[in-house]
Structure 1
Amino acid sequence: MKYGLLGTGPWALNTHGPALAAHKDVELTGVWGRRSEAARELAGELGTRAYDDVDALLTDCDAVAVALPPDVQAPLAVRAAEAGCHLLLDKPVATTPESARQVTEAVDAAGVASVVFFTLRFSEPTATWIGEQAAVEGWLTGRADWLSPVFGGADSPYTASPWRKEKGALWDVGPHALSVLLPVLGDVTDLGSVRAGRGVGDTVHMILRHADGASSTCTLSHSVPPAAAGVTAEVRGAAGAAALPPREEPPVDAFARAVDALAESARTGQAHACDVRFAQRVTEILSSAEAALQP
């Protein structure tokens, strides 16, 4: 499958690009970025060419991998789908329900495949754990906490990210939390029931009610000090308690599995569990939480 890479930031440099360049079933056709100099530099490192015209790259590709801020990603995803490209997108797919819906509609209209890279759903052993708990009945409650020091003193390439500064942990790591809870506890069918409150910095506490009556909480932050950082999740019910295991592999390996998942979806025509429709639902839930934070 011929891929175009859209984006030149740390995620493209450290994860998307290396995974695509090393994948035996991928031909990395080229790189496009909002800064042409950065696109040329990244393309040189990956052994491919830089494109100044994104539409020219879309014409030359079977699929695109996008590593761009969500509100830049969404309209480009629509253009890529309209050009007939399969989509390997990043989370969140967009930060408004309207933009997320436009991506879904474009995918449906074009008949292309889509996968959205929710890291824990493609990493091991977390992906296996989520699948195992989703097959168990009787869960009553759960929680998913993602506490990051991106703005809390860490030496992180994402500290300078403008969109993360603007939208905070709710939108950056909230999708990860939901990607764990929704397949296990069920959809949040009543968006009006979503509750949220603020903590220190960009910390957000979210309360969810799921389709079959289960409830869950999420604590999301980029504002904790490095010593307080961590990712935890658990569910409790008739089967007892189950805790999310630590992720044991680098994101580049998980991204390679997402590449495989997109190829399988394109080949079979079967939607993947982490397609744009699932990503749209995640955006709708997070938008409801954002609305609940307003005074």
Structure 2
Amino acid sequence: MRFGLLGTGPWADRTHGPALVAHEDVELVGVWGRRAEATEAQAARLGTRAYADADALFAECDAVAVALPPDVQAPLAVRAARAGCHLLLDKPVATTPGAAREVTAAVERAGVASVVFFTLHFSDTTARWLRQQAGETGWQVGRADWLSPVFGGAESPYAASPWRREKGALWDVGPHALSVLLPLLGAVTEVTAVRGAVGDTVHLVLRHESGASSTCALSHSVTPAAAGVTAEVRGPAGVAALPSREEAPDVAFAQAVGAVLDAARTGTPHPCDVRFAEAVTGVLHEAESQLPSV
């Protein structure tokens, strides 16, 4: 499948690009980015062509992989779908319900496949755990805490990201938390959100359509010593705790590429498609609407 890559930042450079180049069933046609110099440099590193016009790249591709801020990604995804390209998008797909709906509508009208890279669903260890817990019934309580030091003193290539600075952990790691809770507890019917005491820390309380409830603690502002990821569900079957993700992100991304290939070939939607991503955006947008501005 002929892929185009949209984006030239650290995520594209370290994860998307290497996985696409290495995949035996993919031809990387070219790269488009918002800055010409960065696009040329990225294309040279990946041994492919730099495109100055995104639509020209779409015309040469069967699919596109996107590593861009969500509110840049969403309108480009719509254009790519209209051009007949299958979509491999990043989370969150957008930060407003309207923009997320436009992506879903474009995918449905064009009949293209879509996969959104919720990392845990494409890493073997965590994906296996999610499938196992989805096979159980009666989960009553869940918890998903994503606490990182990106803004809390760690050296991170993502600390300078303008959109992460603006939107915070709610939008950056909140999708990971919801990607665990929603498949196991059901769609969210009620959201309560409050800010924490440190930086961009946010706490969520969720009610799910199954009747279960869950909580999330999300932050990029904890110190390295306080960082960590914890997720679990509890019910009649006991307690099930999310294992640590073992694969590197580019290995997981290669699995997501394979999921796009499968969805395009079979016509069977992937569980992490744009419809699921739209639901995640809706929950996060409602949470954001309850938070005082900072």
Same topology, TM > 0.5: yes
Q: Does 1:194 align with 2:191?
A: yes
Following TM superposition, by how much is the alpha carbon of 1:212 offset from its aligned partner in structure 2, in angstroms?
1.0
Corresponding residue of 2:117: 117
Residue number among 272, 277, 281 corresponding to 2:270 in the alignment: 272
1:115 and 1:262 in contact (8 A); partners too: yes
Deviating more after overlay: 227-236 vs 90-99: 227-236
Corresponding residue of 2:162: 162
Deviations 1:178-204 (A, max 9, x none): 00111111111x2xx200110111000
What is the count of residue pairs matched by the alignment? 292
Corresponding residue of 2:286: 288
Deviations 1:40-97 (A, max 9, x none): 1111111101001111100000000000000000000000000000000000000000
Following TM superposition, by how much is the alpha carbon of 1:227 offset from its aligned partner in structure 2, in angstroms?
1.0
Following TM superposition, by how much is the alpha carbon of 1:137 offset from its aligned partner in structure 2, in angstroms?
0.7
Alignment of 1:50-69 (within 5 A): 50-69=50-69
Corresponding residue of 1:182: 182
Q: Does 1:136 align with 2:133?
A: no
Distance in 2 of aligned mates of 1:50 and 1:261 = 26
Residue number among 256, 259, 275 corresponding to 1:258 in the alignment: 256
- Residue type of the alignment partner of 2:123: S
Corresponding residue of 2:228: 230
Gaps of 5+ in 2: none
- Residue type of the alignment partner of 2:142: G
Corresponding residue of 2:89: 89
Distance in 1 of aligned mates of 2:292 and 2:65 = 34
Following TM superposition, by how much is the alpha carbon of 1:286 offset from its aligned partner in structure 2, in angstroms?
0.4
Corresponding residue of 1:11: 11
Following TM superposition, by how much is the alpha carbon of 1:23 offset from its aligned partner in structure 2, in angstroms?
0.2
1:194 and 1:292 in contact (8 A); partners too: no
Distance in 2 of aligned mates of 1:130 and 1:181 = 10
Deviations 1:232-279 (A, max 9, x none): 100111001010000011000000000000000000111100000000
Which runs of at least 4 in structure 1 moved beyond 6 Å after TM superposition? none
Once the two structures are aligned, what percentage of the paired residues are identical?
73
Residue number among 212, 215, 218 corresponding to 2:216 in the alignment: 218
Instruction: Calculate the aligned-residue CA RMSD, in Å.
Output: 0.7
Distance in 2 of aligned mates of 1:130 and 1:218 = 17
Following TM superposition, by how much is the alpha carbon of 1:291 offset from its aligned partner in structure 2, in angstroms?
1.2
Alignment of 1:244-255 (within 5 A): 244-255=242-253
Q: Does 1:25 align with 2:22?
A: no
- Residue type of the alignment partner of 1:280: E
Following TM superposition, by how much is the alpha carbon of 1:24 offset from its aligned partner in structure 2, in angstroms?
0.1
Structure 1 length-normalised TM: 0.98
SS at match of 2:254: helix
- Residue type of the alignment partner of 2:9: G
1:204 and 1:221 in contact (8 A); partners too: yes
Corresponding residue of 1:36: 36
Following TM superposition, by how much is the alpha carbon of 1:294 offset from its aligned partner in structure 2, in angstroms?
3.6
SS at match of 1:260: helix
Distance in 1 of aligned mates of 2:210 and 2:275 = 20
- Residue type of the alignment partner of 1:225: T
Following TM superposition, by how much is the alpha carbon of 1:125 offset from its aligned partner in structure 2, in angstroms?
0.5
Residue number among 241, 244, 247 corresponding to 1:243 in the alignment: 241
Following TM superposition, by how much is the alpha carbon of 1:134 offset from its aligned partner in structure 2, in angstroms?
0.8
- Residue type of the alignment partner of 1:234: E
1:21 and 1:27 in contact (8 A); partners too: yes
Distance in 2 of aligned mates of 1:207 and 1:292 = 12
